[in-house]
Chains A and B, each alone.
Chain A
Amino acid sequence: MIIPFLTVIVISAVFGAYLWQVGPGGKDISTLPSAMIDKPVPDFILPPIEGRQDGLNSSHLKRGVSLVNVWASWCPPCRVEHPFLMELARNGVAIYGINYRDKPADAERFLRNLGDPYQKIGADITGRVSIDWGIYGYPETFIVDQSGRIRYRHVGPITRDVIDKLIQPLLTKIVKK
């Protein structure tokens, strides 16, 4: 007679635990695990944003630990995270940018008004290189180690919390090795 009750309790506990995680627990089920973690960065060559001299390709990402940030001037969360990228750049972190489907003049204005934290920027006009990186939301930020392997991926804007709890500790760990 006790079995039905136990069954109900066990099932409620299982589903309840899941609901708790996505509700009050704050687990974000919209972010996907990246298929790219621990893989080498995809091979790519991107031209500079029209009017600039730099451009970005995969060999730039094998010269040391770096952050790769995918952004666009039309993307509001990219504006939100921008001051944090500036701060990281001031602290000596190498940041490379992939400018996703942007108008050159808009991208240029964005950098002029808000500052340019990037060592180099490649313009992904067709979005094809972003697909090679497995990108589906903007902004996205990757941590790439000195051998050019992707170690971490963050979907959405970088915040104080993300820097303190994820980016800084991981950078320290990778640099030490």
Chain B
Amino acid sequence: MKKLVILLILLATPVFAIQPDEILENREFETRAREISKGLRCLVCQNQSIDDSDAPLARDLRVLVRDRIEMGETDDQVMKYIVDRYGDFVLLSPPLKLSTMVLWAAPTIFLSIGVFGLFRWFRRRPEENWENQTPLTVEENKKLAAALKSEIF
């Protein structure tokens, strides 16, 4: 029984959304189609690429990408064809444009603010240096020694 379970687990393969009848015979075309598909958003299930999605529209788009490649279009032309119809939103990584500047610049801006803040914070620290602390008094040292000896610690 155990062996059977292990065998079944070993036989399991990931399920791909892409159907055998969609795959192109031309290896180079197929590789290009896969690359393009990975960058295109499935509009029905918005956080998957069309390469990962089982939705009928994703399938239609995958077939469309392959058809256009077979017609002799370049990767950019295929992308443009789809962006013209569905807008930039269809691209999983947004293009660098005036309208997306905030999106692209935000991480850098926030990081700079953080670094600046940290810098200020560390500059202020030296005043609280160990060397500036007053040493323990005799009384305090005795208390400390007693505490360290006790069972609690």
Contact = CB atoms under 8 A, between A and B. Distances in A.
Nearest to A30: B46
Main secondary structure of the interface of B (DSSP, over half): helix
Given A127-B56, A127-B57, A134 B86 contact: yes
A127 B89 contact: no
B43 interface: yes
A35 B57 contact: no
Contacts of A133: 85
A136 B87 contact: no
Given A35-B83, A35-B86, A136 B56 contact: no
Given A30-B46, A101-B56, A131 B85 contact: yes
Contacts of B64: 128, 131
Given A131-B61, A136-B43, A137-B44, A32 B56 contact: no
Given A35-B84, A134-B85, A128 B60 contact: yes
A33 interface: yes
Interface in B86-117: 86-89
Nearest to B89: A32
Interface in A117-164: 126-128, 131-134, 136-137
Interface string A91-127: 0000000000100000000000000000000000011
Interface string B61-90: 100100000000000000000011111110
Contacts of B85: 35-36, 42, 131-134
B84 A136 contact: no
B60 A127 contact: yes
A35 B90 CA distance: 10
Interface size class of chain A, counting residues whose CB lies under 8 Å from the partner chain = 10 to 19
A41 B87 CA distance: 15
A33 B88 CA distance: 10
A21 interface: no
B44 A33 contact: no
A35 to B, nearest CB: 4
Contacts of A59: none
A168 interface: no
A132 B68 CA distance: 13
A35 B83 CA distance: 8
A33 B90 CA distance: 11
Q: Which 3 pairs show the lowest CB-CB distances between chains A and B?
A: A35-B87, A136-B43, A134-B85
Interface of B: 43-44, 46, 56-57, 60-61, 64, 83-89
27 contacts: A32-B86, A32-B87, A32-B89, A33-B87, A33-B89, A35-B83, A35-B84, A35-B86, A36-B85, A42-B85, A126-B60, A127-B56, A127-B57, A128-B64, A131-B57, A131-B60, A131-B61, A131-B64, A131-B85, A132-B85, A133-B85, A134-B85, A136-B43, A136-B44, A136-B57, A136-B86, A137-B44
Given A35-B86, A131-B60, 5 more contacts: A30-B46, A32-B43, A42-B85, A131-B85, A136-B44
